[in-house]
Amino acid sequence: MNTTFSRALLLLLPILFAAGCANFSAITPGASAQQVEKLVGAPTSVWKNADGSEVWEYPQGPLGVETHMVTLGPDHAVREVRQVLSDETISKLHVGMSRDEVRRLLGRPRDIGFSSLNDEEIWSWRYREWGVRNMELYVQFDRSTGALKKVTRFQIDTSDGKRQ
């Protein structure tokens, strides 16, 4: 009984591991679209640019704190792979941006919410800063104009509640 269970678990582990850690670092510039699909599966969204290039979006990877963007040239070869939930990308956000612009920068939000106080739409992401700090990002849009109003970042504090 126990051994059956352990064996099942052992068999299951590599599958869980593979699912949790799609291997974006194995994608190298020049790789084909087919190779990308084989390594990390089909994208959630595909953004087509005017020049024939494409961006493949893979939101909320391992633990929901990473989103990868794979850019393919017009020749369908990989140009670059980027993990976009980072301070570098977030610092490009600015007041007045459209939902589409934000979506293309950061990918699909983890969640979309609404405020009780005003006509606002709130997009939220979780990400990790320096690989260690758990962060929460809120991007607030004016719903009537669709323009970005405010960006706020928080570090999730895990110490306080356990301190008393």
Q: For binding to other proteins (CB under 8 A), which residues are involved?
A: 91, 111-117, 122, 124, 135-136, 150-157, 160-161, 163-164
Residues ≥6 apart with Cβ < 8 Å to 26? 39
Count of CB atoms situated within 10 Å of the CB of 89: 17
- Opening angle at CA 47, ends 123 and 27, nearest 5: 100
CB of 126 to other proteins, least distance (A): 11
Q: Which is nearer to other proteins, 38 or 114 (CB)?
A: 114
Give dist(CA 70, CA 23) in Å, integer.
12
Give dist(CA 57, CA 43) in Å, integer.
5
CB of 101 to other proteins, least distance (A): 16
Q: Which is nearer to other proteins, 136 or 142 (CB)?
A: 136
Q: Which is nearer to other proteins, 23 or 159 (CB)?
A: 159
CB of 159 to other proteins, least distance (A): 8
CB of 145 to other proteins, least distance (A): 19
Residues ≥6 apart with Cβ < 8 Å to 67? 57, 58, 59, 60, 61, 83, 84, 85, 106, 107, 108, 125
With contact defined as beta carbons under 8 Å apart, do 137 and 152 qualify?
yes
Q: Which is nearer to other proteins, 145 or 152 (CB)?
A: 152
CB of 115 to other proteins, least distance (A): 6
Q: Which is nearer to other proteins, 71 or 134 (CB)?
A: 134
